[in-house]
Amino acid sequence: MIELQNNQLTFRFPEVHKKAECQIDFQRTLRIPDDNREYPLPPGLGRFPVEHVDDFADSLPYTWLAHGGVFIPMYQSEALWINFSGDYPCAVKIAAGKINAVSGESWSNGLSDDPQDYAVIPDQPWLDGFNVSEDFIRQFVAMPLGKGFTAEEQITG
């Protein structure tokens, strides 16, 4: 079961265990330069709003409505990192477009250990961007669609 409350997604798995639960929220942060240099994790500046697609049926593209789910409104000047919390071990896969953020590879169903394509809550408290190479990530940022700038467009062409 997935629930959206206070701009946080809560995942519950009562069929696994009564305490099998984890939370995910999206932290607004400063956008760092994309110049291949190393920077410390920028501060969290509060949660991004997370909205149900259906609540904006009059103003979103039909493809979004057909897919359903939630979205995060952000400006191109902003970035985000994903905050994980929970006490019960949960595997989570994160993708934007069809690119797995943990492995940096195309999306696939199921879990893979080689390369690892999931994070384990509570062992990993956050994910701050796409894995693009050993020890190097690119921030989660908003980019214009259809112009070749999204992670999916850059990785898959």
Instruction: pLDDT tens for the chain, 157 residues: list them.
Output: 899 999 999 999 999 999 999 999 999 999 988 888 888 888 889 999 999 999 999 999 898 899 899 999 999 889 999 999 999 999 999 988 788 999 988 899 999 999 999 999 999 999 988 887 777 778 888 877 666 665 555 555 5
Other C-beta atoms within 10 Å of 91: how many? 12
Write the DSSP symbol of residue 105. Answer: S
For 25, the domain range is 2-156
Cβ contact 105:94 at 8 Å:
no
Cβ contact 15:64 at 8 Å:
no
Our count of domains for the chain comes to 1
Q: What is the pLDDT of residue 69?
A: 92
User: Which pair of structure tokens corresponds to residue 127?
Assistant: 């994910």
